[in-house]
Structure 1
Amino acid sequence: MEDRRTALKIALAKVASGDEAAMGILYDQTNRVLYGSILRIVRSRGRAEEILQDVYMKIWRRAGTYRSDKGNPITWLCAIARNSAIDVVRREGRMTEIGDDVLENFADDAKPADDWLCDMEDQEALRKCIETLRSDHRTSIRLAYFEGYTQSELANHIGVPIGTIKSWISRGLMGLKGCLGG
């Protein structure tokens, strides 16, 4: 795990200085994880592939802004991918080309498909903390942050007022912050 993290940090540093070969290495090491993260949100293979291309363009341009003292490189990369996918869903709407059953079977050579976060250590700590939340808070946070639902979509999906969703997410995030020591 530490070797992979170190390799990604080195590759990102080289990408920041314009090293195209390092970009290829970074792509080879991360494309399946990022694609899976995007696919879970947009639910369309074609859209996910397009977004993935855009994500790597963003990484190429922004590699110099990555700060290793602020977090793990894969977490930073996944945040770019996730935010890009959510932006597309908010702009163009959610598609249902791919069902949850397909997403569950989407394999990643590095990690099981159930892992929602890109970094295993962060994922395990977060998983434990999420399990301590009330059921409604936990569900709202999972759908919003791991599947890219907007608050309006959540309200419609769950069948509660948007104010309730906002409250659940806010309280849940405060609980997570306390649990994670933030």
Structure 2
Amino acid sequence: MAVSPLPEDKPKLVFHAAMMAIQNIGFMMMYYDIWGDTSPDFVCKDTREAVGFMALTCFCVAFLCVGMAFGGYIADTTTFALYWLLHLVGGACYTACTVMIPLARWSDDGKACAALTPVNGDRLEVVYYLHAALYMVYVGGMLSITYFSFLKPTFFSVTVGDKP
């Protein structure tokens, strides 16, 4: 595995890392607030767990995506691979939360939970819709960092001897 981004692709790595980190910190803050404002009532157990898991996941992947891009930027295969794999685990948790949150929020217990604190229930609904709408943007960021750090230089770059 060779991690060796082209010089013109390094700003793209910085851009995608920044965008992913901003998105994650934003969702961490929103879900953390919702987590704290969700009733401790038993009917809210699944909602609290799903939202809390998402808040903590977003915190972790915020720095893991930057580490992944940093490894690509400095062309360090070990750093890139380590953060890429750790971010992959975080991304799997992010994906799990993308399924867990609506299952919890729109279950019978989730609806009862939202009725206990209607503003918080409404806020969770809107934040989740935004999260779901931006899910593929986030996936695109990870794939872009992977492409510019590893795939493009390894499989798609033209060497001097290959030019016509």
Query: What's the TM-score once normalised by structure 1's chain length?
Result: 0.26
Query: What's the TM-score once normalised by structure 2's chain length?
Result: 0.28
Q: Is the helix fraction higher in 1 or 2?
A: 2
Higher relative contact order by CA 8 Å / sep ≥ 6: 1 or 2?
A: 2
Query: Bigger radius of gyration, 1 or 2?
Result: 2
